[in-house]
Amino acid sequence: MANTWITSNSGQIARVALATLAEDVVLGQTVHRDFDNEFGGGSGDTINIRVPASLAARTYSAANRYTTPITYDDLTEATVPLVLDSILYSAVRLPDEEVDLDIANFTAQVTGPQAEAVAQGLEDAIAAEMNGVAATAGLQFPLSPTDGQMLDEFADARKALRDNNVPTNNLFAAVSTDVATKIIKDSEFRRVDASGSEGALREAIIGKIHGFTVVESNKLTAGSAVFYHRDAFALATRAPQVPRGAGAGSSVSAYGYSMTWTADYDPNYLADRSVVRALAGSAVLDADRVVKADTSAT
C-alpha cells in the first residue's frame, strides 16, 4: 500500500497540528517499571524477580522458659519470571519521490506516529494483564447506581487489599470508560479532587477516592475496575541497540518509553525504510496486591 500525504497543492494547509486520536497511554505509568535496566549484559531475555519471604511473629511465655524451646520457621522465597518476549515495532517504506516532495517534517510526519504506535502497543501489554485478572467475589458495581454506591465499592476494594496486608501508598484504580462515567455522575464524587501528577497520567486522573488514584483507560474491558498496588504488575521495556548495518539510527521516546529508530535504503524499491521498535515484557507480580470489580445486576 502507498502512503498518503497532504501537501500544499491540496489546498492551503494550516500550520496547526491536530492531536492524534490516540488511545490512552497511562497504565504503564502506574505499575512497577524498575526492572528495565536488569536486562542486557548477558542476562538473557528473562529475569527472575524475588518475592520476599513472609513470616509471622510468635509468642513465647516466660513460664515455658525452661521447659519448651522456641519454634523456628523456614524462610521461603519465591520468584516471578519476567520475560522480554515481544518486539513491538512500526515499519514504513518511504519512496524517493515522497521523501523529496511530500515530507516536510520527518519527525512529525514519520517517526512521531511510529513512536506513538509502539507506545500504544506497550500500553496494550499491561492492559492485557489487567483484563486477565479474574473478578473478585463480592466486588460488583451496580448497573444503575445511586449516589454514593460507586464510591462505596472503592471502600470495599480497599478493605480487600488491606486484609491482604497491602500498604496504603501507591494505590491505583484503573477503570473502563463506562465505569468512569458512572463515577463522575455520582454527586459524592464532586468532593473529590484530582491529584497533582503531570503529563498523560495527570490528564487521565479523574480523582482520588479512598486512597486510590483513579485513572481512566479505554483499553480496559467495559464495566470493569482494577484496584491495585503499583507492585501488583510489572512492565519492562528496553530499546535495542542500533544495528551495525543500519544506515542511520538513534534512541527515541514517547510517553516515557525508550525505543530505537533505524533507517536504511532499499535499492530494489528505491525507498527508505524507517523502523521504530522496543523489546517488552509484562507480568502479574503479586496476585494478592490486586482485586477487580465488574458491573453486574444487584
- Enumerate domains of the chain plus CATH numbers: 136-233+287-295 (3.30.2320.10)
Which residues, other chains included, contact 62 with Cβ-Cβ below 8 Å and sequence gap of 6+? none
What is the pLDDT averaged over residues 63-68?
A: 81
CA atoms within 13 A on the CB side of 289: 21
Bigger pLDDT: 173 or 43? 173
Bigger pLDDT: 225 or 188? 225
Lowest mean pLDDT among 37-41, 62-66, 225-229: 37-41
Task: Work out the pLDDT band at 203, boundaries 50, 70, 90.
Answer: low
Bigger pLDDT: 16 or 249? 249
Bigger pLDDT: 219 or 39? 219
pLDDT at 134: 94
What is the pLDDT averaged over residues 65-86?
A: 82
pLDDT at 123: 93
pTM of the model: 0.80
pLDDT above 50: residue 16: no
pLDDT above 70: residue 36: no
For the chain, give the mean pLDDT.
82
What is the pLDDT averaged over residues 248-257?
A: 86
pLDDT above 60: residue 41: no
CA–CA distance, 130 with 124 (Å, rounded to integer): 10
Task: Work out the pLDDT band at 93, boundaries 50, 70, 90.
Answer: very high
pLDDT at 37: 62
Q: Nearest-CA neighbor of 221 among 174, 290, 182? A: 174
Which residues, other chains included, contact 131 with Cβ-Cβ below 8 Å and sequence gap of 6+? 219, 220, 221, 224
pLDDT at 68: 86
CA–CA distance, 257 with 228 (Å, rounded to integer): 22
Task: Work out the pLDDT band at 66, boundaries 50, 70, 90.
Answer: confident
pLDDT at 10: 45
pLDDT at 204: 62
Summarised one tens digit per residue, pLDDT across range 138-168 is 888 887 888 888 888 999 999 999 999 999 9
Task: Work out the pLDDT band at 297, boundaries 50, 70, 90.
Answer: very low
Q: Nearest-CA neighbor of 129 among 29, 226, 229? A: 226
